[in-house]
Amino acid sequence: MLARLNHMLGKVILQITVHNGKVISSRIIKSSDFPLLDKTAKYWVETHWLFSEGVNKVFLEEIIFELEDKKN
How many CB atoms neighbour CB 63 within 10 A? 19
How many CB atoms neighbour CB 48 within 10 A? 8
Q: What is residue 52's predicted lDDT score, i.e. its pLDDT? A: 97
Instruction: Kindly state the helix (H) or strand (E) to which residue 65 belongs, with its residue range.
Output: strand 57-65
Instruction: Kindly state the helix (H) or strand (E) to which residue 24 belongs, with its residue range.
Output: strand 22-30
Q: How confident is the model at residue 3 (pLDDT cuts 50, 70, 90)?
A: very low
**pLDDT above 90: percentage of residues in the chain:** 76
Nearest CA to 58 out of 12, 7, 8, 14 is that of 14
- What's the predicted TM-score (pTM) here? 0.82
CATH number for the domain whose boundaries are 2-65 = 3.30.2420.10
**Ranges of each domain in the chain:** 2-65
Average pLDDT over residues 8-36: 95
Average pLDDT over residues 22-48: 96
Average pLDDT over residues 14-37: 96
